[in-house]
Structure formats: structure tokens, C-alpha cells
């Protein structure tokens, strides 16, 4: 199982050609075995839409319904364990969404599928792309 970073979630759903070969294979496995995304990714995408920096071609609510209709990806809400893990990260990165996503993957004990170099450098082998 894997956890998808926000861009991996977006690309898996709407633009799979942007996934690396490994990421595409992992997403195909996820479609069979299940996977995760932090619920903060919904907020992150919605915020970019509100700022005019992203157009999904559909409302965010429809995007979430589309993702959930697959039935294989679970959105994980950030509970106190994830917030505490995000605070405990020995990482200077200040983006709360990225910290919550990393903490979610660590709490679930699964690799994070991400193309973000900053996250890859921090997580090392626990970040896949």
C-alpha cells in the first residue's frame, strides 16, 4: 500500500501520463490493493482552485466524488496522532500540508508517492516516484 501526495493524487486521477513509470505501476497496484491520501490534499487542491492557480475542470466536490467512486483510495483525516507526528518531524519544512501528508504516511507506515524533491530528500527510501 502507498499514500499519495497531493500532486500524485491529482495526476493519478486526471492526468496519469504525468506519473513516472514506477508511480504508474504503484498506482495500478493501489487500484487492486487499496491506498491512502491525506484528507488535507482536498483542502490543498481546493485552496489552489480558490486562488485561481488550478482548474480541475470540475468543482472540488465532484473531484472528491470521482476519487472515492474508485473505492480503492481512502482519505485519511488528520487526527491528533498525525498532528503530533507532524510536529515531531525533525524537518525544517514549514508547509503544514506537506508536514501533514508526510506524517500521515509515517503514521500509516507506508511509502509516500511523491515527485517533490524536498519531501524525497527528507523521507529517503520511504518516498517513491
Mean predicted lDDT score pLDDT of the chain: 96
pLDDT at 91 over 90: yes
Q: Dmax over Cα atoms in the chain, in whole Å? A: 38
What span, in angstroms and rounded, lies between the C-alpha atoms of 117 and 64? 26
Domain ranges of the chain: 3-128
Contact status, residue 8 vs residue 117, Cβ threshold 8 Å? no
Q: What is the pLDDT of residues 14-64, one digit of tens each?
A: 999 999 999 999 999 999 999 999 999 999 999 999 999 999 999 999 999
pLDDT at 70 over 90: no
Contact status, residue 101 vs residue 85, Cβ threshold 8 Å? no
Specify the CATH superfamily of domain 3-128: 5'-nuclease (3.40.50.1010)
- C-alpha distances out from residue 85 to 8, 72, 77, 80, 117, Å: 22, 25, 13, 8, 21
Amino acid at each position: 500500500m502507498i499514500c499519495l501526495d497531493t500532486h500524485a493524487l491529482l495526476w493519478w486521477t486526471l492526468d496519469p501520463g504525468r506519473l513516472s513509470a514506477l508511480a504508474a505501476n504503484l498506482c495500478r497496484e493501489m487500484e487492486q490493493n487499496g491506498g491512502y491520501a491525506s484528507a488535507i490534499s482536498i483542502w490543498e487542491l481546493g485552496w489552489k482552485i480558490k486562488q485561481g492557480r488550478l482548474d480541475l475542470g470540475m468543482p472540488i466536490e465532484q473531484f472528491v466524488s470521482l476519487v472515492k467512486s474508485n473505492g480503492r483510495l481512502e482519505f485519511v483525516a488528520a487526527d491528533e496522532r498525525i498532528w503530533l507526528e507532524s510536529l515531531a518531524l525533525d524537518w525544517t519544512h514549514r508547509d503544514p500540508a506537506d508536514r501533514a501528508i508526510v506524517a500521515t504516511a509515517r503514521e500509516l507506515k507506508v511509502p509516500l508517492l511523491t515527485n517533490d524533491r524536498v519531501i524525497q530528500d527528507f523521507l529517503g527510501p520511504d518516498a517513491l516516484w
